Structure 1
Amino acid sequence: MRVEIWSDIACPWCYIGKARFEKGLAAFAHRDDVEVVHRSFELDPNRSQGDTAPVIDMLAAKYGRTLEEARAMEAHVASTAHSEGLAYRTEGRDHGSTFDIHRLLHLAKVRGRQDELLDLAYRANFGEERSVFDAETLVALAVEAGLDGTEARAVLADASAYADEVRADEREAAELGANGVPFFVLDRRYGISGGQPAEVFTRALEQAWDGRVPQPAGGPAADGAACDVDGECDV
């Protein structure tokens, strides 16, 4: 059975949702027969490369909040992340274009290291003092994930490398009706939106395995906390 996950490295609920899905998968009896594929979804596709801003400033501007209110929003998400055993910094993080990260994740997919790179990128972005919007940081993460540094640097230097693959993922998400991430599709029969609790994922896996079709992938069976196509994230 295949599970496809549309997500963006800038989305905190994708970070949390991935951890919850993996817990749900671990409780699934047929987990060894599940193939997980990560798909690209940019929350801010029109943002220029190199255009970065502090996350707190971005949140305040997007939601029309004060800086203190934006910090409180981040603190709430951080508390949820911490409850899942995830590192999460509420200060000192940047927001920027994730197009290069998605392109590099497609290289990692070809090399069989996609999940490893995604975990490292999430951890760097949300839990460490490392900006994932810096090319050299991305190369270092690629090497940590088991990729060849020279190949990773060449992909980042060529804006067309894996660009079509990123755009194809995003078009497919739109065709499936995904208007936010994380978005999970189980065997092209069952869609789930948002960072659901682990037990929801376990039940969905069991239903998909048994061949029941409670709802087509075009409409999520349940909604959880997510980030939408306008880049707004539930808090």
Structure 2
Amino acid sequence: MKVEIFSDIACPWCFVGQVRFERALEEFPGKDDVEVSYRPYQLNPAMPYEPQPLLDYYLARGGAAFRDDHARISDVAKAEGLDFDMERALAVNTFSAHRLMWLAERDHASGVQHAVKHALMRTYLTDGGNVADLDTLVTLAHQAGMDPDRVRADLASGAGTAEVKAAMRHADQIGIRAVPTFVFNGRLAVRGAQDTAIFRQVLEDVAAQSTPSASDTGACAADTCST
């Protein structure tokens, strides 16, 4: 079974959905036959590369509702073992981070891409790090087992730019409009941070070649996150 996870590093629901899916996968008897890969998506491609406080950026754009929505998401995340800190988080463009994800997939096994994805989302949503900063990306890559000198050279040269843009166009062409979206075997899309039990049922049903049902829940689209 192949599972493609479309998500953005800046998306809090994406991190919640990812850990719920991973918990379901760990419980799934056929987990060793499941290949997971991560696909790029940007909620706000126009986000500046110069970081600024996340809450200030979105309060200026959308008002207090952003703070309230993300406070609720943070409470849900805490129940999943994630500690989001929106007061520290920096609003910054995630395209370079997606390029790092592409490099991880190109050069390493899926476990490295998984480790990089977790590190990037933790850096953005918990640690208040700048995921557009070259030194930060190189450090995270090195910690995940990548060659830091090669990563630095590749990111500085623009490697992966065309490929990530093409992957984002593909996401648009197949109808990805909100994240996280989980695509199973290229034919079944499940959107949102579903409960672990739902993901487990989807895995079982796809393995049995039946079609499960799941309602949209916990997703982000175009700078907005819904519960």
TM-score, normalised with respect to structure 2? 0.92
Write the distance in 2 (CA, Å) between the matches of 1:102 and 1:20. 21
Between the two proteins, the alignment pairs up a number of residues equal to: 224
**Secondary structure, counterpart of 2:122 in structure 1:** helix
Match of 1:182 among 176, 180, 183: 180
- CA drift of 1:224 comes to 1.4
- Does structure 1 residue 227 correspond to structure 2 residue 225? no
Is the alpha carbon distance of 1:20 and 1:214 closer, same or farther for their aligned partners in structure 2, counting shifts above 3 Å? closer
Give every structure 1 segment of 4 or more consecutive aligned residues whose post-TM-superposition deviation is greater than 4 Å: none
- Cα deviation for residue 214 of structure 1 reads 5.2
Alignment pair present for 1:18 and 2:12 = no
For residues 158-169 of structure 1, the aligned pairs below 5 Å read 158-159=157-158, 161-169=159-167
1:214 to 1:202, Cα distance in 2 relative to 1, 3 A: closer
For residues 179 and 120 of structure 1, the distance between their equivalents in structure 2, rounded to whole angstroms, comes to: 25
Paired residue for 1:93, among 89, 95, 101?
89
SS in 2 for 1:223: coil
Q: How far apart are residue 222 of structure 1 and its match?
A: 2.7
Contact persistence 2:2–2:35 (CA under 8 A): yes
**How large is the Cα RMSD of the aligned pairs?**
1.6
Gaps of 5+ in 2: none
1:209 aligns with: 207
Task: Report the Cα distance in structure 2 between the residues aligned to 1:60 and 1:127, rounded to whole angstroms.
Answer: 19
Q: Distance in 2 between the 1:8 and 1:145 partners?
A: 19
Residue equivalent to 1:9: 9
For 1:103 and 1:8, how far apart are their aligned partners in 2?
Answer: 12
The question of whether the paired residues in 1 share the 8 Å contact of 2:88 and 2:126 is answered with: no
How far residue 170 of structure 1 moved from its aligned partner, in angstroms, is 1.1
Residue 103 in 1 paired to residue 82 in 2?
no
| Aligned-partner SS, 1:119 | helix
Equivalent residue letter for 1:54:
P
TM-score when normalising by structure 1: 0.89
Paired residue secondary structure (1:192): strand
Measured against aligned partners, the alpha-carbon deviations of 1:31-50 in whole angstroms (never above 9, x if no partner) come to 111000100111111334x2
- Provide the C-alpha distance between the structure 1 equivalents of 2:148 and 2:17, rounded to a whole number of angstroms: 29
Task: Quote how far apart the aligned CAs of 1:176 are.
Answer: 1.8
Sequence identity percentage: 37
Any conservation in 1 of the 2:28–2:204 contact (CA below 8 Å)? Answer: yes
Decide which moves more: 130-139 or 103-112. 130-139
